[in-house]
Amino acid sequence: MKRMIEDKLNKWKVSGSRKPLLLMGARQVGKTYSCLEFGKNNYQNVVYLNFEGDMRLLHDIFREDLEPARIVQELSYYSKQAIIPEKTLIIFDEIQACEMALNSLKYFCENAPQYNIIAAASLLGIAINRGKYSFPVGKVDMVTMYPMSFDEFLYACGKDLLLEKIKESFSSFKPLSAVYHEEALSLYHSYLVIGGYPAVVKTYLEKNDFNVVKAQQANIANAYIADMAKYSTPNITIKSTDIFNTLPAQLAKENTKFRYNIIKSSARAKDYELSLQWLKAANVVLESIKATEAKHPLSVYQEIDSFKIYYSDVGLLSYKAGIQPQDVISNISSHRARGMLAENYVAQQLVAAGYPLNYWQSSGTAEIDFIIRIDDSIIPIEVKSADNVRSRSLSVFADKYNPDCAIRFSTKNFGYENSIKSIPLYAVFCL
């Protein structure tokens, strides 16, 4: 499966200022597979080391000292492979399980930059927050990997031509021909159910069975809950699980601002703050923060106590909400279900494209789903799950800020409507 991370890995390899690369992301997003494929295609050999697999011998190599020459010699002996500078890719998988291995990246950066090292971490944010780990600040290059975006999904489905047609229409801003438009919408609806976990996508393409898809999504959800128990206190585990399980109820509301009383009527922010931080640090959920003003830098105008929380994968939302796949694919699910899936989907695509998530509210009732910075402009984004696009919120925003443009994502084709750019939901990745 083609992943966008490939381009970032290739740029890292040829960089003249290359440091060990720390590849972060939630479990099941494809970090290990992408690293191994990159190594196979670009190096003479790959030395793969999993710190959750061999907890004794492998960890012992890093306990004596952090001298790169000695470590490389012993890793070569351990793996039964020669480690050749610039020709061998060393992969440290699940590096958060070995504190000293994480620390060693600093010394590889300073004393042995000739070795190409990628360290993959699923729960590094959790480990660091627990105060056990020393992060090699300034000594690593960092990249975060997310579930497959919709364009990656199209590649996986063999829809290269359709993908190019979407890109062409976005560039020219001319409507996509009906035959391509309808197919793209159909695949978008399928993606809402399947999501972007590579194993789930692969299974769907091989089996074409949504029961198998749901079973895999259940396994992933249960694995996240197991991680909560493994890497946090019992109290945080319980509350993290509560947040994780009640997100569909949060997102189904008309106003999707996160409310603690949805979890439990007596719940308070201070009781669940650490659990919410856990989920964010594990990249299991995405956070969109309210901006009080649509001005840059947006970080200056964030109201951090007002936020929305999304699943990092829309397929996981579909599964956790108990939505019937056929209802989504046939586009006959309820308005509320379609709305929360579309909004979560857009959040996921924006994050994958590198946009921080923010939303805006007026002093009245107007709300803009997302605002993003493009060049020097703050652009409002409205999300509609169908082709009914009537709304006053963009007008309220335009009257106050006079943006260079406004964007509305819906099931309608490319076009302009009342000075608003209409972009189909399947083309969010083009931004």
pLDDT digits (tens, 9 = 90+) for 45-92: 999 999 988 767 788 999 888 999 999 999 999 999 999 999 999 999
Instruction: Please list the residues that pair with 342 across neighbouring strands.
Output: none
User: Which of the 8 DSSP states describes residue 363?
Assistant: S
How would DSSP label each residue in 66-94? --HHHHHHHHHHHHTS---TTTEEEEEET
Query: Which of helix, strand or coil describes residue 421?
Result: strand
d(Cα 407, Cα 416) in Å, to the nearest integer? 9
d(Cα 35, Cα 45) in Å, to the nearest integer? 12
Please report which confidence band the pLDDT of residue 336 belongs to, taking 50, 70 and 90 as the band edges.
confident
Q: 192-238 pLDDT, tens per residue? A: 999 999 999 999 999 999 999 999 999 999 999 998 888 788 999 99
Q: What is the CA radius of gyration of the chain?
A: 23
Query: Which of helix, strand or coil describes residue 430?
Result: helix
Instruction: Please list the residues that pair with 297 across neighbouring strands.
Output: none
The pLDDT value recorded for residue 289 is: 97
Please report which confidence band the pLDDT of residue 132 belongs to, taking 50, 70 and 90 as the band edges.
low
Helix axis angle, 198-207 to 210-231, nearest 10°: 160
Domains and CATH numbers, the chain: 5-144 (3.40.50.300), 150-430 (no CATH)
Please report which confidence band the pLDDT of residue 133 belongs to, taking 50, 70 and 90 as the band edges.
low
Residue 15 has pLDDT above 80, yes or no: yes
The pLDDT value recorded for residue 130 is: 54
Q: What is the residue-averaged pLDDT of the chain? A: 93
Which ranges of 30-172 would DSSP assign to H, the alpha helix? 31-42, 57-60, 68-79, 99-111, 124-129, 150-156, 160-172
pLDDT above 90 covers a percentage of the chain that reads 81
d(Cα 58, Cα 75) in Å, to the nearest integer? 8
- In the structure encoding, which two tokens stand for residue 405, read together? 């443009």
Q: Is the pTM here over 0.75, yes or no?
A: yes
d(Cα 105, Cα 15) in Å, to the nearest integer? 17
185: Cβ contacts below 8 Å, ≥ 6 apart: 411, 424, 425, 426
Query: Which of helix, strand or coil describes residue 210?
Result: helix
Residue 129 has pLDDT above 60, yes or no: no
